[in-house]
Structure 1
Amino acid sequence: MVIFSAILAAVIVGGIAWFWLRSHVQTPAPASRTRDVAPVEIDPPVAVAPVAVGDLPRRFLLHALAVDDDTPLRVQRAVVEDVAATLTRADLSSRYTPRRPNLLPQLIHSVNDSAASSRSIARIIGSDPVLAATLLRIANSPLYRLQRQDVQSIERAVTLIGNDGIRQIISAALVQPVMQAASGEDAVFARQLWDYTLVLSLAAADHARSMEQEDGFAAQLAGLLLGLSGAMVMQATTDVLARSPLRTREPGTLLEALERCTVPTAVRIAGHWQLAAPIVQALRDVDADAPAGLAHSLQVGRWVASAAMLHAGRHISEEQALAALSSEVPAHVAVWLWKRVNRPTPADSR
């Protein structure tokens, strides 16, 4: 009996101990059947470096010359002086100041005449096969194309684009052969310069009409002359370098010649072509600190064209381009001009 009582007491004590341990000791959770996933680290957004609007034209020229922004530049001052002298000599040859296109006065008169029909304008253009082919090519470019189907006749181009558009295209078509005559090392630069000039002249014309209440065609023609004079400066520099085998082709020298001589050469060409005084004055004032009227539109055109070319070459983002342009012109104007010169082709919208 004593033994039974002892056993019973032991069982009771053991049960009490088991219940106490169960209530005070945590049972480990079963091992997870899923693999532990390391926390994902999210990088903070990368700040986009701002681009100064005044630096855009120089950066475009550097990239058109196939030079990186951080490449050291060596300038041959003597070469630049010779280029400037060549372009300002009294006996300046037609190699550096092209003859005024014969059809220019007649065409300007026709497109300014409200009574002139598209057929009569097309007849004038059609009298020059090279001009006609060039005009159709430009009319079908992304900057001017208004429909999916190609424009295949001059009269159709005149009808679709209207007088303002056809004046712009005519002027561009007249100067394109001169600008694209370069060969060899200058050929790539010439193609870049031509695309830049088309955008510059278009943006300048739109800005002049809408923001400055100025003649858009005058701004467009002045913009074309800036591009044309750039081609002339490159030709003169090539000729000066060819005179001495000791002179090498240095990107810094080309850049210096372009920045120093382009505007004065454009003024000289405008005078040689006997263009209207407002065009000549706008070219003279384009580098001023605060140009007005046509000169301001030319300045804006240069910024827009430079930004567009740098963006096309993936050197700056659209965000950087718009931020730079908006620092000098109202934001809505910057966006409007940007969309105007970066329109998708009809094939892209299909």
Structure 2
Amino acid sequence: MGALGWMAFAVALALLAGVGAWLLVLALRSSVESEAEDGDASGSPNDAEEGGEEESAAIEIPDGRTLLRSLYALAFEDAGPAPALAFAQADAHEAIAAACANLLARTEFQARHMPRRPQLLPKLMRAINDPDASLEKIAKVIGEDPALSANLLRVANSPFYRVREKPVESLVRAAAMLGLDGLRPVVAAALVQPVMQTGDNAFGRLPVLIWDHTQLAADFASGLVRGGRGQEDAFAAQMLGLLNGLGAIIVAQVLRDNYALHPQLRPDPQVVARVLDEQAAPMAHRIAIEWELSDRIGVALDAQRLDVAPDDPLGRALCAGRVAASLAMLRKHGKLGDDGARAMLSNWALAQGIDDAGLLRLWDRLPA
């Protein structure tokens, strides 16, 4: 397998994060079904947690780009604090950043390493977005791919969904247990998720960190548009978030390969985070074009500027989802308390002219 072979799609792949990671995503996803029925906002941001730092965080309006770069930098924590860079080293890091950007933009690189569109994607998208399609029909399409079928059964047999001791062995029954709203994101993630090389070093931890954030961001984005714009847009938002994460995974691999050419150079977390931030959405847009997805997916990807929420509805939902997911991940890794992170999310949304009620309802349904 080549240097980028780990990105080859395995539609048949079991989600690497395992059932445990899916429980986090599915717990948020299942509760979103009642979003349109919940007319009342879920209260004001809680009081800040004990300590001056939490009180400060509760009134802070975070910058989305800073949050995301802080999240990416977590993969490098075990290496200790980054040493002060000499001028020569700083130039070397910038040269690596420039080389990555140049490589990702080259037509020959894209032709050679662009992920192939999953064969079932067009057919599944038509079936899932068809309001008249039954769960039996969708299950029949899923049954055309053994690995996708296995993944659906794996989720249906997880503790979150399984209600009987006897295992679920029928795709139709599995689809009925998840329901249409639960089925859409499971199928989308199974189609889009890359095969990732993992390990104990920073570039081994980074892909898992990116994908955990990706799934949460996609679920937030899907939940935000579910009530007001219909199921088709909710699925588009889910795909949009997953594609953006896939672009980030590819960029992370290119960074890893370029740093491997300079073994004497310790990766700079800030440079890595900046390149991921700058290159993930353009790479995802190229994938969307290659996969012949709708133009609005490309427009929404181009709009990913986390310091300013875009006007485009899908792009705006993903922007908010990525900020919410970044705060959730930083909370999960002990960098923020729950009350402080929740207040930061509310303040960011209000500063962007976004009604924070929907975001906070989704946030409050995350597992503690």
| CA distance 1:128–1:179, change in 2 (3 Å) | same
Partner in structure 1 of residue 196 of structure 2: 180
Q: Secondary structure at the match of 1:215?
A: helix
Moved more, 130-139 or 79-88: 130-139
Matched residue type, 1:160: M
Matched residue type, 2:62: V
Partner in structure 2 of residue 120 of structure 1: 137
Q: Distance in 1 between matches of 2:84 and 2:151?
A: 37
| Alignment equivalent of 2:273, drawn from 241, 246, 255 | 255
Unmatched 5+ stretches in structure 1: 1-44, 345-350
* Alpha-carbon offset, residue 46 of structure 1: 2.6
* Alpha-carbon offset, residue 247 of structure 1: 4.2
Q: Please state if 1:286 is matched with 2:297.
A: no
Partner in structure 2 of residue 231 of structure 1: 249
* Alpha-carbon offset, residue 248 of structure 1: 3.8
Matches within 5 A, 1:58-73: 58-66=69-77
Matches within 5 A, 1:96-135: 96-135=113-152
Matched residue type, 1:284: D
Q: Are the equivalent residues in 1 in contact too, given 2:104–2:110 (CA < 8 A)? A: no
**Structure with the greater alpha carbon radius of gyration:** 1
Q: Distance in 2 between matches of 1:106 and 1:181?
A: 29
Partner in structure 2 of residue 53 of structure 1: 62
| CA distance 1:320–1:165, change in 2 (3 Å) | same
* Alpha-carbon offset, residue 290 of structure 1: 3.6
* Alpha-carbon offset, residue 209 of structure 1: 2.5
Matched residue type, 1:302: R
Q: Distance in 1 between matches of 2:81 and 2:155?
A: 35
Q: Distance in 2 between matches of 1:299 and 1:243?
A: 34
Q: Distance in 1 between matches of 2:204 and 2:300?
A: 29
Q: Please state if 1:296 is matched with 2:321.
A: no
Q: Are the equivalent residues in 2 in contact too, given 1:151–1:157 (CA < 8 A)? A: yes
Q: Distance in 1 between matches of 2:175 and 2:143?
A: 12
* Alpha-carbon offset, residue 172 of structure 1: 0.3
Q: Distance in 2 between matches of 1:197 and 1:151?
A: 28
Q: Are the equivalent residues in 2 in contact too, given 1:96–1:236 (CA < 8 A)? A: no
Partner in structure 2 of residue 311 of structure 1: 331
Q: Distance in 1 between matches of 2:304 and 2:153?
A: 31
Q: Are the equivalent residues in 1 in contact too, given 2:155–2:161 (CA < 8 A)? A: no
Q: Are the equivalent residues in 2 in contact too, given 1:136–1:152 (CA < 8 A)? A: yes
Q: Are the equivalent residues in 2 in contact too, given 1:179–1:190 (CA < 8 A)? A: no
Q: Please state if 1:277 is matched with 2:295.
A: yes
Q: Distance in 2 between matches of 1:131 and 1:320?
A: 39
Q: Are the equivalent residues in 1 in contact too, given 2:82–2:268 (CA < 8 A)? A: no
Q: Distance in 2 between matches of 1:59 and 1:102?
A: 36
Q: Secondary structure at the match of 1:260?
A: helix
Matches within 5 A, 1:1-350: 46-47=51-52, 48=54, 49-50=56-57, 51-54=60-63, 55-66=66-77, 76-93=93-110, 96-138=113-155, 145-146=160-161, 153-176=170-193, 178-183=194-199, 185=201, 186-210=203-227, 215-287=233-305, 289-292=308-311, 293-329=313-349, 330-340=355-365, 342-343=366-367
* Alpha-carbon offset, residue 291 of structure 1: 0.6
Q: Are the equivalent residues in 2 in contact too, given 1:212–1:297 (CA < 8 A)? A: no
Q: Are the equivalent residues in 1 in contact too, given 2:281–2:302 (CA < 8 A)? A: yes
* Alpha-carbon offset, residue 119 of structure 1: 2.5
Q: How many residue pairs were aligned?
A: 297
Q: Are the equivalent residues in 1 in contact too, given 2:143–2:149 (CA < 8 A)? A: yes
Q: Distance in 1 between matches of 2:81 and 2:267?
A: 18
* Alpha-carbon offset, residue 161 of structure 1: 2.7
| CA distance 1:282–1:141, change in 2 (3 Å) | farther
Partner in structure 2 of residue 39 of structure 1: none
Higher-RCO chain (CA-CA 8 Å, sequence separation at least 6): 2
Q: Distance in 2 between matches of 1:69 and 1:326?
A: 32
Moved more, 188-197 or 76-85: 188-197
* Alpha-carbon offset, residue 212 of structure 1: 6.3
Q: Distance in 1 between matches of 2:111 and 2:186?
A: 24
What is the CA deviation profile of residues 28-53 of structure 1, one whole-angstrom value per residue up to 9, with x for unaligned ones? xxxxxxxxxxxxxxxxx533131543
Q: Percent identical across equivalent pairs?
A: 34
Q: Are the equivalent residues in 1 in contact too, given 2:220–2:359 (CA < 8 A)? A: no
Q: Distance in 1 between matches of 2:155 and 2:204?
A: 19
What is the CA deviation profile of residues 175-225 of structure 1, one whole-angstrom value per residue up to 9, with x for unaligned ones? 22x153445633322222222111110100111223567811111111001
Q: Distance in 2 between matches of 1:141 and 1:298?
A: 28
Matched residue type, 2:101: A
| CA distance 1:127–1:314, change in 2 (3 Å) | same
What is the CA deviation profile of residues 305-332 of structure 1, one whole-angstrom value per residue up to 9, with x for unaligned ones? 1111111112111101110110133443
Question: What is the alpha-carbon root mean square deviation over aligned residues?
Answer: 2.9
* Alpha-carbon offset, residue 69 of structure 1: 11
Q: Secondary structure at the match of 2:173?
A: helix
Q: Distance in 2 between matches of 1:73 and 1:124?
A: 55
